Amino acid sequence: MQGELSKKLFEAAKAVIPGGVNSPVRAFRNVDGDPFFVRRAKGCRIEDVDGRSLIDHIGTWGPAILGHAPTVITNTVHEVAKNGLSFGIPNPFEVEMAKVVCEWVPSVEKVRMVNSGTEATMSAIRLARGFTGRDKIIKFEGHYHGHVDSLLVAAGSGALTHGEPDSAGIPRSFAAETITLPFNHPERIEEVFARCGHEIAAIILEPYPANAGFVFPHAGYLELLRELSSEYGALLIFDEVMTGFRLARGGVQELSGITPDLCALGKVIGGGLPVGAFGGRGDIMDHLAPDGPVYQAGTLSGNPVAMAAGLAQLRELEKQNGYQRLEEIGQRFEDGVQSLIREKGLPYRFNRAGSMWCLYFGDSEIVNVDSVKQGDFGAFRKFFWACLERGIYLAPSPYETGFLSLAHTESDIDETLEVFAECLT
């Protein structure tokens, strides 16, 4: 499916960029192919360098909640950039963004801006360890928190088995303080806390895991994590880099009513520019330098252009009553996909909340990453390429979540469903 210009660019890229890409999933290896290159994007459509137009269901992996290149953001970036791209000195936009985050997100009394989701989770973990004086961290299989050494860890064989590094270049000693557990198995985390609860600094999780498909916690599971962490003096950290400001103003925290001690944020609050943030209880955040002993810094943190772009996006979401609209088009899409599955008698499942969704090529209950691994990846690859050939761009991996935007119209949804009807077998 590569056009001639994309082929030439990919060959050139492989000579100077590892694997030819700057993030592994872009290499299309999960679908046994090679990537195309994009030259422009507008609304819900992307155009590749060979002139092909596609309806995009990725939205730059989440940030493009208004769609690509919305005028309100591009105009803002243009105006703010005229006064300078970066200062390395405090600017008014970062104060305004912090106020909005504290107002919208239930857990956040104070927030610090960073430049990526990886920085946000890394800093939240360091802060949790510094605040509690403990070293051990609990994470869950299939929950991705960026490429932080102590969090890029594969599962052990049992509830109390410490992790092995999931990448070369990570010392085992780094991973040794990370306990990796299966998601949605309450008895396993109860066992861990009973054995070593007073050694645990924090639990970190995606409250709605969105890097191994799109998974929902069982009823009472988030409540259990909140209860256990509070009982044993550990911190609860929600990684809402993907779900924050995407599913609701306050993310999963707002939807679930569960308030973590710290949370990691990103994507939507940058308006498409590099951004991250972490925040939470004021007494915990006050342990950060310069007030406290936990060091964290960043030259481009609170970048004025990124802050202004993010503020413009959040305000436009409010102006358009965006979350209600996203739920409406999300429901239209879900109804259509579920109808196709029933009509064709396919053993597939579809999960959705708001503007996030995932289609699973299998009929197992989706509980955690192990459930996702049971899917028919061959069927997924066939479906991916068939959709791409017909003008629909989906994530090139069965482990990724899809995203809708305010730029997707009813006709865009219906066009996607027509293609799905042709390609689902």
Annotation says 267 is catalytic: yes
Tell me how far apart the alpha carbons of residues 87 and 304 are, in angstroms, rounded to a whole number.
Answer: 8
Q: Give the residue from 352, 317, 348 showing the smallest Cα distance to 335.
A: 352
* Active-site residue, from 48, 56, 239, 412: 239
Smallest Cα–Cα separation from 132: which of 233, 283, 259?
Answer: 233
CB 422 within 8 A of CB 386: yes
Catalytic residue among 136, 144, 348, 412: 144
CA distance 383 to 380: 5
Residue 374, judged by CB atoms within 10 A of its CB (0-12, 13-18, 19+), counts as middle
Distance CA 49, CA 6 (A): 6
Active site residue 319: no
Verify whether residue 42 is a known catalytic residue: no
How far the first Cα of the chain sits from its last, in Å, is 21
Marked catalytic residue, from 48, 267, 348, 399: 267
Does residue 64 contact residue 74 with C-beta atoms inside 8 Å?
no
Q: How far is CA 196 from CA 126, 175, 295, 376, in A?
A: 20, 17, 27, 38
Residue type, 191: E
- Alpha-carbon distance of 42 to 71, in angstroms, equals 10
Residues 6 or more apart from 148 whose CB is under 8 A from it?
Answer: 118, 121, 122, 125
Alpha-carbon torsion (207, 209, 215, 218), positive or negative: negative
Quote the tokens at residue 349: 């499942």
Residues serving a catalytic function are: 144, 239, 267
